[in-house]
Structure formats: structure tokens, C-alpha cells
Amino acid sequence: MIEELRAILGEPHVLTGADLTSWSQDWTGTYQFNPLAVLRPANTGEVAQIIKWANRTGTAIVPVSGNTGLSGGTKADGAMMLSLDRMNEIREIRPESRIAIVEAGVILSNLHDAAEAEDLIFPLTFGAKGSAMIGGCLSTNAGGSNVLRYGNTRDLVLGIEAVLPNGEIMEIMSELHKDNSGYNLKHLLIGAEGTLGIITAAVLKLHPKPRAYATAMVAVPSLPDALVLLNRLQQETGGAVEAFEYMPRKHIEVYSQIKPDAREPFEAPQEINILVEVGASAPRDCTPGPDGQVPIAAYLEEVLAGMFEQGMLLDAVVAQNEAQRREMWERREAAAEIAMSRRPVIVNDIAVPLDKVAPFLERMEQVLPKVDSGAEPIIVSHLGDGNVHYTVWPASQDPQVHDAIMEAVEDEVLAMGGSFSAEHGIGTSKLPSMRRRKNPVALQAMQAIKAALDPNGILNPGKMLP
């Protein structure tokens, strides 16, 4: 088998033995596994040959990108891992059309740099941007901090190229914003976690680069007060709020423990800490006045001052330079490091309607101690889109208690019309949740699609579908 694959890829690009060490676990260390080999194709044609070979031999293929997922989507015991890290070309940036044509192995931060060189942005961003690859972002329909303004990954894609489970290449690299010619197959593969095909390239939307940001840390008495602030800013800026992130006091305390040199966001500790960022492109909002202040930042200060006078804010700090802005973002982007700083850890990635975030958290304050009296929640939230990362550090070591915590979270989320998976995907960690909570008819439809496209079950088996 190995010799056949080396004939396709060349000997250096079929990794075995000791070379598999760094490929045998995910970023969290929760999932450890033993792949048969790691295959590193250089182009879509080689991917197609690998998939045809896998069908002929009945060998499972597990795709891997930056391997920074949190749901065990790259677990690959007894399977070949397929890495597209060599397929990392940014084929084209077209400023006039505001599109980027890229291969799946392009690292997200490299695309950010290439877009910025053309005074544009690819707005998808999150803490792992320095290692996450475009193929993984598409396969998990990644979210991140800018969903509020720009949408999820699927909202940023015009077309894709993919190798289907039979080894055929589906080229739908559309550059069109409107195309109603049949089923939207790109959306079928985006978010499918590599179970329905291997995305090898994509046409992505770019956006104008904001010429100025107004960024602040805001303390509010309650989460409903935070939503009043969000809606007021959205209305007054024409929807220019890019990020609206909630960090409770516990997040700040643990961040200070792992980053002893970090400063507190406010002079006095606050329970509800909001990071808000507004982006502006119009010259009237971005050109500094005689006093050197950028108008969008002055406007943010004005809104915050007005709400402070009304008693709706407890404190606020507006970033006065890029260094202060980065300091605020570093506090938020450390969320994964904070969550994984203790073990065991139960990772929940849920979404509820915006006005249900506070009721959900209030309910969990009552419910969690009944399941595990010593459990500690460590929370951070994309409050602007209703996504809550409700991580739990359990006191109990009993796996049954851990599962009971997951079920308790699911109970409250579904009662509020939410979802047990917002942006991390299903992988293997949320298979029990899919079995318990996904609509049975929807599951049957998903299984029928999987069986029709991948009858031999070779693509990322054991993921997403229970």
C-alpha cells in the first residue's frame, strides 16, 4: 500500500514511522491516534488519485488542515491522513472584483497579509489564524469574532473545487454572486467536515479594509444592557460593529494567572467585560481632526459617555493606539489557552438567540451544581451572534458525570431554541449530542446523502454522523 502511494506522491510525501509523531494527536491533546501514514499531495490531481486508490483498497481517508480543531475531527486510527499543506498557493487576488482564488492549504493569516497588500481584508479571523488553513475553515464552516458583520465562512465563499468520494473532481469555482443553476453543492460540502468530499481550492470574497477602528473595553451592569449598547451602535454606525465579545470576571482572572504581566481591563474589577470594535472606511469617519482624534473613535466615546450618564455602563476604556487595541484582543484571543489550562475539560460550543444568552447562563448557574457540585464554568461569548463557549472544568473524574454535564447544557440550549454546535463542528466529541438531539428526519437525510456520495464510507468515517 505504501509503495503504491509513493508512486503517486513521491517517497518524501508519504510519511510513516517516526515522522508520524506530530500527526498523532490534535491540538488539544484530548484525541491521540495512530494513522497508517500521512499523505501530502501537491495538486488536485494527486488528491483524486489518492481517493480512487482508497476506494479500490477500502482504506479510510481523514483530511487534516492546521489540526487546531476542538471536536476530534482529525482522529485517524487505522486511516490515512490526507494533508493539503503543500497545496498552499494564493493563485490570484483580484482587487477589482474583491475576490481571492486560493488553494486549501493556504494558512489563514497568510491570506490576511495578501489581502491587506491590496488594501482589502478577508474578514474571517480567530485565535488559531496563524496555523488554521482555508480547507479546514471551509470544512468546519468556521466562525470567529467577525461573524456579526461579515457572516460565517460559508458567507464568504463564491465557489469551490473539490474531489468527491469517488475520486472525481467537481470544479464549481464560480466567481458569481448570483447563480441559481441547481442545488448549491458548495454549501453541501462547506461544513461537512470532509465527510462528503475534499475541498482543494476556493473562490473567496474580500472586503474593503477598514481605515480606522474604534475599540473599547466596556463594563455593563447586565447582559441585557450590553445588547442595548450593541443595538444602539449598530443603528448609529449602519451596522459597522465588527466584534462584540463577552468575557466574565472568571475569564479575566485566569488570563491574569497565565499572563502575569497582563493588565486589568479596568481600574476596578468588573463582572461583565465587553470588547467592542467598530470598523470604518469612509474618510469622514477615519480622517483625524485637528486634535488628532479619529472621528469614529470620538463617536464611540460619545455613545459610551451618554450611556454612562444613563447608568447603563459602569466603566469604559477606549483604545488610543494600536498597541492598546492589540492588548484588548490578546485578552480575548487567549480563550482556547485559558480553557485548556486545566484538565479534565468539557468543551461546549452552543448558540442561542441573542436575548437568551443571559437566561441560559442564569439557568446553568442553577443546573450545573446539581450535576457536579464542584464544577467550574469558564465562559467566553461572541455575544453579538449568540455563540457561547460554555467550557466546564468538572470536579468529578467520572466520564458519566461529564456526559451528564453535556446533556444538561443541551437541555437548556434546546429549550431556548438554540444549537449544541455553533462553530466548532461535530467531529467525534459531539456524536452523542447528534444522536440525542438532532432531528431524526434530518439525520436520516444526512445519512442518505452520505451513502449516496460515499457508498464505501472512506471519507472521514466515524465523524459527524452517529
Let me know whether 143 and 226 are in one domain: no
In a domain? residue 430: no
Q: How far apart are CA 299 and CA 303, in angstroms?
A: 6
Task: Check pLDDT > 90 for residue 143.
Answer: yes
pLDDT one-digit tens code per residue, 49-70: 999 999 999 999 999 999 988 8
User: Which DSSP category does 20 fall into?
Assistant: G
The confidence score (pLDDT) of residue 289 equals: 84
Q: How far apart are CA 464 and CA 74, in angstroms?
A: 11
Let me know whether 72 and 95 are in one domain: no
The confidence score (pLDDT) of residue 268 equals: 96
Task: Check pLDDT > 90 for residue 270.
Answer: yes
Confidence band of 466 (pLDDT split at 50, 70, 90): very high
Task: Check pLDDT > 90 for residue 112.
Answer: yes
Q: How far apart are CA 248 and CA 143, in angstroms?
A: 21
From residue 225, alpha-carbon distances to 147, 228, 273 in Å are: 21, 5, 12
Preceding peptide of 344 cis, ω within 30°? yes
In a domain? residue 379: yes
Task: Check pLDDT > 90 for residue 288.
Answer: no
pLDDT one-digit tens code per residue, 342-379: 999 999 999 999 999 999 999 999 999 999 999 999 99
Q: How far apart are CA 247 and CA 354, in angstroms?
A: 15
The confidence score (pLDDT) of residue 291 equals: 83
The confidence score (pLDDT) of residue 30 equals: 86
Confidence band of 97 (pLDDT split at 50, 70, 90): very high
Secondary element (H or E) of residue 444:
helix 440-453
The confidence score (pLDDT) of residue 70 equals: 87
Let me know whether 15 and 95 are in one domain: no
Map grid coordinates 438532532 to a residue: 438
In a domain? residue 432: no
CATH of residue 238 = 3.30.70.2190
CATH of residue 71 = 3.30.43.10
Let me know whether 309 and 351 are in one domain: no
In a domain? residue 154: yes
The confidence score (pLDDT) of residue 92 equals: 97
pLDDT one-digit tens code per residue, 28-49: 888 999 999 999 999 999 999 9
Let me know whether 54 and 164 are in one domain: no
Q: What are phi and psi of 339, to 5 degrees?
A: -60, -40
In a domain? residue 465: no
In a domain? residue 96: yes
Q: Sign of torsion, CA 248 254 257 260? A: negative
Let me know whether 256 and 186 are in one domain: no
**Cβ atoms 125, 99 nearer than 8 A:** no
CATH of residue 387 = 3.30.70.2740
pLDDT one-digit tens code per residue, 428-437: 999 999 999 9
Let me know whether 229 and 313 are in one domain: yes
Residue that terminates a domain, selected from 186, 208, 230: 208
**Cβ atoms 67, 85 nearer than 8 A:** no
Which set of grid coordinates corresponds to residue 372? 457536579
The confidence score (pLDDT) of residue 238 equals: 85
Confidence band of 282 (pLDDT split at 50, 70, 90): confident
Tally the domains of the chain.
Answer: 4
pLDDT one-digit tens code per residue, 175-228: 999 999 999 999 999 999 999 999 999 999 999 999 999 999 999 999 999 999
Q: What is the pTM of this model?
A: 0.94
Rounded to the nearest integer, the mean pLDDT of the chain is: 96
Range of the domain at 52: 2-83
Let me know whether 10 and 50 are in one domain: yes
The confidence score (pLDDT) of residue 71 equals: 92
Which set of grid coordinates corresponds to residue 378? 469558564
**Residues whose CB is less than 8 angstroms from the CB of residue 44 and which lie 6 or more positions away in sequence, other chains included:** 87, 161, 163, 169, 200, 201
In a domain? residue 434: no
Task: Check pLDDT > 90 for residue 134.
Answer: yes
Let me know whether 120 and 155 are in one domain: yes
pLDDT one-digit tens code per residue, 383-405: 999 999 999 999 999 999 999 99
